Every structure is written in structure tokens, then in C-alpha cells.
Structure 1
Amino acid sequence: MSDNSSAPPTGVRLQKVLAAAGVASRRVCEQYIAEGRVSVNGAVVTVPGTRINPHVDRVAVNGSAVQLDTTKRYIMLNKPRGIVSSMRDEQGRPDLSRFTAHMEERLFNVGRLDVETSGLLILTNDGEIAHVLAHPSFGVAKTYVAKVRGAVEPRTLTALKSGITLDDGPISVDAVRVLDAHGSTSTLVELTIHSGRNRIVRRMMAAVGHPVVDLVRRSFGPLHLGTLRSGEMRELSKDELGGILTIARNAHVTGEIASKEYDAGTTATSPRTAPDTKEESR
């Protein structure tokens, strides 16, 4: 964003950029700017007509980040059981390509769910978002609903919150509660965890004596599966997109770093080519 008034005008008017990004009409965007609800690179802008570089500058409205690049796509998928979290499975098993074959953009999945785990999976062509949401170091919380064997007692919930030790070290959940119990046969448990370790929910529940029978990821960061049915997908809403963009920007991850890890979905850590033995129910 340039503040040199003597230089020839460069960039694009802020209200025009916001309108093109789908925030609101140009007139309404001008009102947002005048009311101090818009910031550019962290600084509030109150002068309509301020010019920015939409390829470089980062804009937020009411504190929520706005994606100015309209070529980026963000899809929420309710992955069914039996689908491999890969865009191309070398063993010929059902994979995510069946959901993206009709799309012009080359999308890839953010993180993974193992074959027998269903639920919320994000598909995108935005490497920066993918890097932040999927990388364990950023600790994005995920919530799962697990049907487990046996009756889960309060002391077991306490142990999960206090922490247990697995082969790869100590681990604890952020939150856990019983949703439903079926006598001594099975229990429906909701767990929230930010760890990205391999099959962590299944391993934790097995360690406390309650193997998982069925596992569904219900939320991923600020995103919630809601009523989206198994096998269905939809575009993220503006509020949902703003939520994950805000996480990415707060994490201070540059597009250059992200693109190195997710370049065309061909790197060793890419969900497009990673071995299925490393699939995770994060």
C-alpha cells in the first residue's frame, strides 16, 4: 500500500478489490472503509479510494481475513469410509479424484483421514492454507466423534485429559466427553485434539482399553461438518474462509514456504503422493 501522494496512482482502489472478492457491493465496501472496519497489512484504512496491490497486500474486514485471489478454491468434503485420502492411489483403490474430476482447478487435500475414518476434509489449491492447517506445528484443533467398545468411565476421561503415554511419547486431549452410552457394549465419545500424530485418536482410545469401532471428524479448526452428508461437498462460506485465512496469516507462513511444500502436489509430504501407510486421522 503506497503512501506517496506525489507519485502517479498505482494499484487498485480498495473498495473495488473488496467488491471483486465478494465482500459486498462497492458502495457498501466504501461504507465499511469509512467506518474503520477495513485494515490493510494490519493498519486500519478509513479513506475510500486508497489503492492497494491485491497480489501483495493483505486485507481484513472486521478482523477477518479476505481472500483477494479469486482463483483460489476451498471445498469442504464429508469423506466417506473406504476412500483413500489421495488424489491418485497407486493401488487403484477409491480415492478423492472421484470428487474433483469435474473441476477445472487442480485441487489437493489438506491433511488426511485414514481409509476407515470419515468426516471433514478440506480440498483446495491454496498451498499456504494447506500448510498451516495440516502441519502439526501449528496445532490446529480437530474434533472427532468416536464409537468405541465398552463403557467409558469418568476416570478414563480424566486420564485422557491429564495425559497418557504412547510409544511415541505423552499425549493428551484438549477436551473429551461422553455423548451416548449403550450399556457395556459401546460408547459414543467426542474428543478434541490438536496433535497431528499418525492415527492418534485410534491409538489413544486403544491405549485406555476402548478400541475405536467407527470414527468421524466433525470439525477442523473453525470449520464444522454440520449437516453435510457423507460423500457430499460444498464451497466454504465467507465466514468460514475468513476464519481459516486469519489462522494462516496469524501463523506468519509465507506463500513461498507453503508452495515449496505443496508445489503442484508432487512433493514427498504432499497428500497427492504420500504413501497410504502414513495416512492419519488427525
Structure 2
Amino acid sequence: MEPRNSSSRFLALKISPISLPSRKPRKMSLKKKKLPLLKWLTLSTRLSRRKAFDAITSGKVKVNGTVISDVRTLIDPDGDTVTIGGKRVRKGLPAPIYILLHKPKGVVTSAEDPEGRTTVLDLVKKIKTPVFPVGRLDIMTQGLLLLTNDGPLANALLHPKYAILRTYHVKVKGKIPPKAYSLLKKGNLKLDGRTILPVEIKVLKSLEKNTWLSVTLREGRNREVRRIFEKLNLPVLNLIRVRFGPLTVKGLPPGQWRMLTDKEISRLKQVQQASGRGGKDGSHGA
């Protein structure tokens, strides 16, 4: 009996090609980004959030001819036709805009004021694109305020984890005792039960009865500068915010505003991306 030649057996095998069913190329569907009606109206009109909410819930808003009273209704900004009281709202989303305002005293940091006082938006009426202030300055504080319609950037700049530097020139009554310097520089002071972050502080001018200081904070709590010095029994007589991140109010008189330069916008975007990682003053814009 002849031994099997396994190699010859395998060579004799015929392998039939496997035929796979033909598949048509998959079409990628690009879904248009939809936004809640309330959010889109606040971005695309000069209505405050409250007024936009009231307009929708009172039945004054129509989408493609149908009255919509649910503020959460999703719409296509580019495709849907929206009207308020019969007046058509321009389609699409406005381009990002960035305004640096030197807010004067006596002006409210708000879109509107029930008491009829001048607001920061009244100072930029020439700008047709709806904007909002990034953070707040109280009515008696003057200085740098950023206005924009760029929500993600605004949220990043205000988020505590980014520790965006804010520099103020502060005039206080009296002299600064050494103990107060130590408390501020080490952050050994509490507001609302929470310890403040260390403060950079230096004397700009020491007068007989008052002192001008430069104070840099890494957070933006409500009326933080005034409350800090109240706690130290040093009443604030004048307060000016001169810097916010990479932006400075230098050369801009109170009540005036200007558009940010491309370089400033680029630096803000860098701050948004890099501030959480810490770094030198430059990374924070100080």
C-alpha cells in the first residue's frame, strides 16, 4: 500500500473564491444642529431671557406658522421660520462678537433694569448683534467688562477651575496693617464659609488718610473685593477693574468701548484651553 502523499492531496484541492454581496457606499448624514427655542431667541434677538420666555409662553412666537408655547421646543436656526408678534426673526446664528467696555459708575451690569437705570447694553446700542456681559461689576464699580455672544468661552472664563486673574485698583480708607497683608497673601480669610484663594496685593500710593492698592484675585465671587476689605475693617472708597485675563482697560475712557483685536481674541481662546493647567502669569494673562 502506497503511503498517502498529503502534499499532493492539498495541491489538488481547488479553492473557489468566496463571493461577497456588493455593498453600496454608506451615505453620511449630516444632522443640522438644533437649539431650544428659548436659547435661540436670546442669541438672535436683543430680548432678555425673561422677555423671550414670556413671549413664548404667552403665544406670541410662531415656528413655521404654528404657535409654539414650549420654550424647550427644538428648532433649526437655518431652516425654520420664526416670528414674534408677526415680525420675522433673522435665520441662522450671529457670528461671534467680542466687545471690551469700560463700565462707568452708576451703570447696571444687566440686559435690562426694572428701575430704569442705564445698563451696560445701553452703552453699546450701536451693536445690533445681541450680546451679554461676562460676569458682573456692581453699580458703583467701574472698569473692564467683556461683552460677547460666545457662550462656551464666557462659561470657561467664569468657571472657578480656570482661575482667570482679575486685577483691581482699590482705594481704601486708612492704612493697611501688616496682618491684613499676611491674611490676603496666604488666603487665610473666609467669605461665606469658604477660604479665599491667595491674593496678590501691592501698594500703589499711600496718602495721609487713604491708600491705593493693586489687588489681583483668582476667582470672581459676588462683590468679593468690597467684602474682603469690609472684613478687614477697611472701607472701599473707589474700585476699578483694570484687567481681566489678557485684557486691559488701559487707554479706554469710562463709558467707551471697542472691539477686541484678533490677537486678544486668540489669547482669550488660549486662556480657555490652558488656564486649567496653571502656569506663569502670562498663561493667565496677568
Question: Which residue in the other structure is 2:114 paired with?
Answer: 90
Aligned residues: 183
Q: Does 2:198 match 1:173?
A: yes
Are 1:144 and 1:217, in contact at CA under 8 Å, matched by a contact in 2? yes
Instruction: Name which of structure 1's ranges 243-252 and 116-125 shifts more when overlaid on structure 2.
Output: 243-252
Are 2:167 and 2:241, in contact at CA under 8 Å, matched by a contact in 1? yes
Rounded Cα–Cα distance in structure 1 between residues aligned with 2:275 and 2:178: 36
Query: Any idea what SS the aligned residue of 2:263 has?
Result: helix
Q: Does 2:142 match 1:155?
A: no
Question: Which residue in the other structure is 1:220 paired with?
Answer: 244
* Cα distance change on mapping 1:174 and 1:239 into 2, 3 Å: farther
Rounded Cα–Cα distance in structure 2 between residues aligned with 1:152 and 1:105: 45
Q: Match of 1:176, as an amino acid?
A: I
4+ residue segments displaced more than 4 Å: none
Q: Match of 1:101, as an amino acid?
A: K
Are 1:75 and 1:123, in contact at CA under 8 Å, matched by a contact in 2? yes
Structure with higher RCO (Cα < 8 A, 6+ apart): 1
Identity value in percent? 36
Rounded Cα–Cα distance in structure 2 between residues aligned with 1:76 and 1:195: 20
* Cα distance change on mapping 1:120 and 1:131 into 2, 3 Å: same
Query: Any idea what SS the aligned residue of 1:81 has?
Result: coil
Q: Match of 2:168, as an amino acid?
A: Y
When Rg is computed on C-alpha atoms for both structures, the one with the higher figure is: 2
Q: Match of 1:181, as an amino acid?
A: S
Query: Any idea what SS the aligned residue of 1:152 has?
Result: coil
Rounded Cα–Cα distance in structure 2 between residues aligned with 1:121 and 1:211: 23
Q: Does 2:210 match 1:186?
A: yes
Match of 2:129 among 95, 102, 105: 105
How does 1:47-86 map onto structure 2 within 5 Å? Answer: 71-86=95-110
* Cα distance change on mapping 1:89 and 1:70 into 2, 3 Å: closer
Are 1:148 and 1:214, in contact at CA under 8 Å, matched by a contact in 2? yes
Are 1:145 and 1:189, in contact at CA under 8 Å, matched by a contact in 2? yes
Q: Does 2:152 match 1:128?
A: yes
Question: Which residue in the other structure is 1:246 paired with?
Answer: 270
Deviations 1:146-183 (A, max 9, x none): 00010113332122111212333221433100100112
Are 1:149 and 1:213, in contact at CA under 8 Å, matched by a contact in 2? yes
Q: Match of 1:208, as an amino acid?
A: L
* Cα distance change on mapping 1:124 and 1:211 into 2, 3 Å: same
Q: Match of 1:77, as an amino acid?
A: L
Structure 1: 5+ residue stretches without partners: 1-68, 253-282
Q: Match of 1:247, as an amino acid?
A: V
Q: Match of 1:173, as an amino acid?
A: P
How does 1:194-205 map onto structure 2 within 5 Å? Answer: 194-205=218-229
Query: Any idea what SS the aligned residue of 1:95 has?
Result: coil
Q: Match of 2:245, as an amino acid?
A: G
Instruction: Tell me the TM-score normalised to structure 2 length.
Output: 0.60
Q: Shift of the alpha carbon at 1:251? A: 6.5
Question: Which residue in the other structure is 2:279 paired with?
Answer: none
Query: Any idea what SS the aligned residue of 1:203 has?
Result: helix
Are 1:173 and 1:191, in contact at CA under 8 Å, matched by a contact in 2? no
Match of 1:118 among 142, 152, 160: 142
Are 2:94 and 2:129, in contact at CA under 8 Å, matched by a contact in 1? no
Are 1:78 and 1:225, in contact at CA under 8 Å, matched by a contact in 2? yes
Q: Shift of the alpha carbon at 1:234? A: 0.7
